[in-house]
Amino acid sequence: MAKRSASTARSAWRRADPMAGPLQGIRVIEMAGLGPVPLAGLMLSEMGAEVVRVERINPARAFLDVKPEHDLDRHGRHVLRVDLKSEAGRDLLLRMGEKADILMEGFRPGVMERLGLGPQDFAARNLALIYGRMTGFGQKGPLADRAGHDLTYLALSGVLSMIGPNGGKPVPPLNLVGDYGGGTMFLLTGLLAALIERGRTGKGQVVDAAMVDGASMLALSFFGFTKAGIWQEKRGENLLDGGAPFYDTYETADGAHLAVACLEPQFFAEFSRLLPLEEPFATNQYDRKLWPEMRKAIARRLKERTRDEWETLFAPTDACVAPVLSLSEAAQHPHNRARNAHVNVGDLTRPAPAPRFSSSDTVPAGLAEPASDLSSFGIDEKEMEELVQAGVIGD
């Protein structure tokens, strides 16, 4: 392996400033993976935490091989490539854990324990460490050690059964619901709650976040709706799944689409007036017998103008109608521009850090940097050089 200096190859782009944001002073070790854990690492970094992403010494990312400037799974971090099969590599990580506040990993149950890097191994050195575990099925249960992806967890949570057209098959909602909604957001909630409790007790704990659990929790209301008899367990026949003609998408004259979401009577009345929607549809919003013909009537009217023409008509109103924008169009929408909802990092336009804070800064993460300085984790530059020369730390 080619040797290099630990102090070389610094990026010209800056990462999120660890002295800005509500999490300033918090140190995080992120074990490299895909999906929910990397997004959590980015968000923690942009809220001010110092995040070191630990990768294999020779990482393989065949199906996600993107340029560094576009690789948001790494932005905002120091990247440290470590030979965790070596005793020296494992000892390095355990020593970093002595100074860390959070470690988060997304491996199958037992992987970190087999490496000698499980919660108990770190707790023996740092009882205050919060150990975040992100899996598909959780740490225990018949499926705990099984492989899966977002769609797998949505299927087993019941959520996927509700997404798709009436009479059609279930439709994958990208990987937003399982990976990021049920995964990242619940992992972050657990980590931050554990930080608050540690402030009272001085002790860390293990956070067990499972995507199947999180996806189920996102569907909490629908369990209640079903029991109450106001939700049918059949796709495309309910208020929020495209079953209602006033909560659906429609094609416009130019082949684009509008999102119509006028659920409440006052919003539907405004929509009906502006469309206009003829009687008896306009005055019988919730009469399910009329819904098939109401849908056809709405579709016919919306095909008469282009998406932008309809947007001009509906934008100043409470009709709850919006153009279906592409990602690039969303970045240029007047509302998003007024809120500075997107930022440019190099040649990449991406969402700005969220949420926003009244008295703390958040800084958009820049290109990842080699982990050439781990002094805040208790590893000085001399030792870094020695570990590089020994092959424990890679390029």
In degrees and rounded to multiples of 5, residue 359 shows phi and psi of -130, 10
Per-residue pLDDT band for 97 (boundaries 50, 70, 90) equals very high
Hey, which residues are catalytic here? 149, 179
Kindly report the backbone phi and psi dihedral angles of residue 183, in degrees, each rounded to the nearest multiple of 5, phi listed first. -100, -75
Residue identified by tokens 């299927």 is: 155
The Cα 177–Cα 186 span in angstroms is 11
The tens digit of pLDDT for each residue in 29-48 reads 999 998 999 999 999 999 99
Q: What is the pLDDT of residues 190-215, one digit of tens each?
A: 999 999 999 999 999 999 999 999 99
Helix axes 265-274, 307-314, angle to 10 degrees: 120
Chain mean pLDDT for the chain? 92
Q: Reply yes or no on whether the pLDDT at 326 is more than 70.
A: yes
- pLDDT one-digit tens code per residue, 52-79: 999 998 876 656 678 888 999 999 999 9
In the CATH scheme, what is the homologous superfamily, with its name and number, of domain 247-251+257-323? Answer: formyl-coa transferase, domain 3 (3.30.1540.10)
Q: Give the integer Cα–Cα distance in Å for 135 and 138.
A: 5
Residue 372: its pLDDT value, please?
78
| pLDDT reported for residue 7 | 36
Is the pLDDT at 12 greater than 80? The verdict is: no
Q: pTM for the whole thing?
A: 0.91
Q: 144 vs 134, 187, 308, CA distance in Å?
A: 12, 17, 49
- DSSP secondary structure letter of residue 353: P
Q: How would you label 25-45 residue by residue, b for 16+ Cβ within 10 Å and e otherwise?
A: ebbbbbbbbebbbbbbbbbbb
DSSP string, 238-262: STTTT-STTEEEEE-TTS-EEEEE-
Q: Give the model's pLDDT for residue 62.
A: 53
- Asked if CATH classification 3.40.50.10540 holds for the domain at 27-218+347-389, the reply, yes or no, is yes
Token digits of residue 301: 């009217």
Distance CA 76, CA 367 (A): 6
Does residue 15 sit in helix, strand or coil? coil
pLDDT tens digits for 255-279? 999 999 999 999 999 999 999 999 9
What is d(CA 37, CA 55) in angstroms, rounded to the nearest whole number? 13
Query: What percentage of the chain carries pLDDT values higher than 90?
Result: 81
- Domain regions of the chain by residue span: 27-218+347-389, 247-251+257-323
User: Minimum mean pLDDT among 57-66, 134-143, 170-179, 238-247: which range?
Assistant: 57-66
Q: With beta carbons less than 8 A apart as the criterion, state whether 282 and 260 touch.
A: no
